Amino acid sequence: MNTTLQHDHDQFDELLTVTKNWCAQYLQKLESLPVHIAMPVEKGMHLPVEGAGAAKVFEAFLQQYGAYISGNAGARYLGFVTGGTTPAALMGDWLTSVIDMNGSSMEAPSMSIEQQTISFLQELFGLPPAFTGAFVSGATMANFTGLAVAREWWGEQHGVNISDDGLHSAPPVKIISCKPHSSAVKSLSMLGLGRNSFVQIPTLPNREAIDVQALSEYIQQHPAKAYIIAASAATVNTADFDDIQALVALKKHHNIYIHLDAAFGGFAACSDRFKHLLKGWESVDSITVDAHKWMNVPYDSALIFSKHPSLQLQIFKNIGAAYLGDPSKQFSYTNYGPENSRRLRALPAWFSLMAYGKSGYAHIVENNVDLAKAMGKQIQESEQFELLSPVHLNTVCFTLKNTRGELSKTVKIFLQTLNKEGKVFITATEFAGKPAMRAAFVNWRTTQQDLDIVMHALHEVYAKTS
Ligand SMILES: *Cc1c(COP(=O)(O)O)cnc(C)c1O
């Protein structure tokens, strides 16, 4: 063994203690750290020939990056749709790295942990056993997988096996949608369908939800053997939901595959107050749900649920690899998703679900939605801000009001100043043709007190910049 490696091997206990102590301290001060810290461009380094050993590298890491480690996992990071990590999920994640077991392995206990976690999630979401679930790295890969199954289904409707014979043997695919997430569009590029295969149906007025009447008219005007719809259960700007029940009703008269992107909106199912938003989702063909957002497990973790396991197998099976067994005889997650080897990412989810249960998740969701609604109300009643959409779930989409100069510039300066101060982080967007911003509540830590700090920061920065 290399002498430095040997030394580290002998010091394992000390190394872990140093790391654990740093982690505990970091977590203790998480809420007082700036939510965002900008970092200057680094000069490049060369890879050392002789390594320094783990203890020295830890010091180097802190020296180089320590000052820029922000409280981005904390309560007031409201940018994008970024969750945190529950204590139990963190324990599960550490163990995942320590055990370092291949999540796709057919060996115990990896497969049973994964199967059990997926069935917990089906219970949490109230999804019927007709769905087969699988873990992937994020909602982008879940959308990729769901749309790959849709593509395979399209081939089947036209008597073509796309995974064996390629897309060119099937008639051109159209994907009908209204406000697809950028990752769904990216998936179409990765799947060889092309970004232009999207057919955009208009939204309902001042909404991000599909106009089902316009969709029905499109279908009447374009008679076809089969249709694929990419629906949304919570858009990123306003957390708006397509009317899933109305989309599912179209299946009675037409041959339709529905893929539903419920990356964070799927968690509405955890709450009796909000699960009506997902009415009908048990009847779609595939569903994307992110775990590293509202489930508050570390990156990278998401799920694809599908009602077409045989098509999924057709696409993702490993064949001609005797050591992996026969995919038609032996179940293995390697044959149901894009990855082969991967970390046992079900374990953090298993820990968190076992630790907090149905009521814990209902609480996280309801608390976040209540805070978003409270923020929406304060925004609406203020003289400085304009609420651009009703708060459908956990996202507040708003802009500045009564400003002097051009709105796009003012919003840009406002956000730069706000985010630089580090009390809160919010991302820019555009809504209804207006430069805007959005705050998304998905962190288990966020409280009313945080909302007060956020609102105070918004008003202070408005006074400074607008
Ligand atoms: C975040 C998000 C995605 C992409 O998820 P990643 O986990 O970043 O890959 C897809 N769809 C929706 C609606 C999202 O919010």
pTM of the complete model: 0.98
Whole-number Å distance between alpha carbons of 144 and 316: 12
263 lines ligand 1 (CB under 6 A): yes
Residue 6: exposed, middle, or buried by beta-carbon count in 10 A (0-12, 13-18, 19+)? exposed
Q: Tell me the C-alpha to C-alpha distance, in Å, between residue 149 and each of 117, 237, 285, 364.
A: 22, 27, 9, 32
How is the beta sheet containing 256-261 ordered, strand by strand?
A: 132-136, 302-306, 286-290, 256-261, 227-232, 175-177, 198-200
pLDDT of 44 reads 87
Whole-number Å distance between alpha carbons of 89 and 364: 14
- Ligand 1 centroid to Cα of residue 402, in Å, is 33
- Ligand 1 centroid to Cα of residue 261, in Å, is 8
264 lines ligand 1 (CB under 6 A): yes
- With tokens 């009415």, the residue in question is 279
What is the domain partition of the chain in residue ranges? Answer: 101-353
How is the beta sheet containing 427-431 ordered, strand by strand?
A: 385-387, 395-400, 434-440, 427-431
At 382, give phi and psi (nearest 5°).
Answer: -85, 165
Which atom of ligand 1 is nearest the CA belonging to 233? 13
pLDDT of 325 reads 85
- Ligand 1 centroid to Cα of residue 68, in Å, is 25
364 lines ligand 1 (CB under 6 A): no
pLDDT of 321 reads 85
Q: What is the DSSP letter of 181?
A: -
- Answer for the pair 423, 32: CB distance below 8 angstroms, yes or no: no
Query: In this structure, what token pair is assigned to residue 115?
Result: 């199967």
CATH for 101-353 is: 3.40.640.10
pLDDT of 41 reads 87
pLDDT tens per residue, the chain (466 residues)?
A: 999 999 999 999 999 999 999 999 999 999 999 999 999 887 888 999 999 999 999 999 999 999 999 999 999 999 999 999 999 999 999 999 999 999 887 777 999 999 999 999 999 999 999 999 999 999 999 999 999 999 999 999 999 999 999 999 999 999 999 999 999 999 999 999 999 999 999 999 999 999 999 999 999 999 999 999 999 999 999 999 999 999 999 999 999 999 999 999 999 999 999 999 999 999 999 999 999 999 999 999 999 999 999 999 999 999 988 888 889 888 999 999 999 999 999 999 999 999 999 999 999 999 999 999 999 999 999 999 999 999 999 999 999 999 988 999 999 999 999 999 999 999 999 998 999 999 999 999 999 999 999 999 999 999 999 8
- With tokens 């209204």, the residue in question is 178
140 lines ligand 1 (CB under 6 A): yes
Which atom of ligand 1 is nearest the CA belonging to 265? 13
**Protein residue whose Cα sits closest to atom 14 of ligand 1:** 263
Rounded to the nearest 10°, the torsion over CA 225, 211, 78, 425 is 100
pLDDT of 363 reads 98
